[in-house]
Amino acid sequence: MVATGLDIFLENIERYRNRTIGMIVNQTSVTSDLRYSWNVLRENGLKIRKIFSPEHGLFATEQDQIAVGNQQPAPDFEVISLYGCSADTLIPESAMLDDLDLILFDIQDIGARYYTYVNTLALFMEAAAGRDLEIMVLDRPNPLGGDLVEGPLLDMAYRSFVGIFPVPVRHGMTPGELALLYRDWKKLDIRLTVLSMQGWNRSMLFPETGLPWVPPSPNMPSVETAAVYPGMCLFEGLNVSEGRGTTTPFQLFGAPFINPGHLLEKCQGPEFEGVFLRPTWFKPTFHKFREETIGGLWLHVCDHRRFRPFAAAVALTAAICKLYPLDLHFLHGVYEFNDTIPAFDLLAGNDAIRSAILDGRDAATVISSWKQEETDFLAAKAGFHLYR
């Protein structure tokens, strides 16, 4: 079984006996026998002063884009939310760091640029720059593996809380590797330490690690969800349900105007290698189209090495647009504290994909537009690899 950064920390816990510690954690910060890290550290005599919680809260009780306030149940520590009612809350106030000399980051990531936990880490690193404060990443696996990347690089004109790192949508890096990349890219004056895992290699998918899966957020119930998320999260920017309000979010999608059989006929290209698409109907209990029976497709991943979730989601969007040009809309409004750029563009990291789809370009042409960026990033990211 893979030993996480938390496991390595606990093996050497005596080193940190005199440190004053803050933690950026949620319910995924568990030992191999599913004990919460903050309790284990406290039981071993460490001084935990503050816990900083990311989007969704310490126990992931809140849905997406819901401000996190008082958190119950909470441990016997001061718990500070880093996801409130405004973008200002994403960054800790300077005074919150004054009595700390070590920050531990230990949260399970998903491997997609727009999953916000590592973005919280990046913003915290910026806030800590120039201070006598060590940030230590207790590394955990990328559940999608570490040798495949997919999608365009982030255009910095579209930087937002769902796009902080200069990486493709599917980046193939661990939280620790991303932290090293970000420090280098931003030239941050910080004390950064990464406690590497033992036993993890870049070809490993999460089931091969032997680690327990703890849902990182309310709509990430399983590893199967994580496999499709780097693509299907794009549907948050459409008037199409991404499956929130069902027990299998992101694994299915739909809308009142979609005829599942007709859409399936349009989705037979190479963009759908490694996945079976099954026509379906479903009724969300909340979120888009609440209590309405809608038609769509279910994604069954059959070959994780061949499946390209972002390419598949772009191809699906293009197919829906061609079939239902008057019904499909790209949503505008406030999305992750941004009210000027469409959500689809923030997630894609540019407006070129949306524009190409609206212009009627075929999916293969759109997908080929970022191939060189993938190749270049594969070479560049190797400089930050901690694992073979």
Which residues 6+ apart lie within 8 Å of 17 measured at CB?
A: 45, 46
Low-confidence ranges of the chain (pLDDT < 50): none
d(CA 197, CA 200): 6
Give the residue carrying structure tokens 């680690």: 211
Looking from the CA of 193 toward its CB, the CA atoms found within 13 Å total 14
b or e along 229-262 (b: 16 or more beta carbons within 10 Å of the residue's beta carbon)? Answer: bbbbbbbbbbebbbbbbbebbbbbbbbeebebee
pTM: 0.97
| Domains of the chain, each with CATH number or no CATH | 5-219+380-384 (3.40.50.12170), 223-369 (3.90.1150.140)
Predicted local confidence at residue 75, as pLDDT: 65
Contact present, 342 and 330 (Cβ < 8 Å): yes
pLDDT digits (tens, 9 = 90+) for 279-316: 999 999 999 999 999 999 999 999 999 999 999 999 99
Predicted local confidence at residue 71, as pLDDT: 73
Predicted local confidence at residue 349, as pLDDT: 98
Rounded to 5°, the CA angle 244-51-179 comes to 75
Predicted local confidence at residue 73, as pLDDT: 61
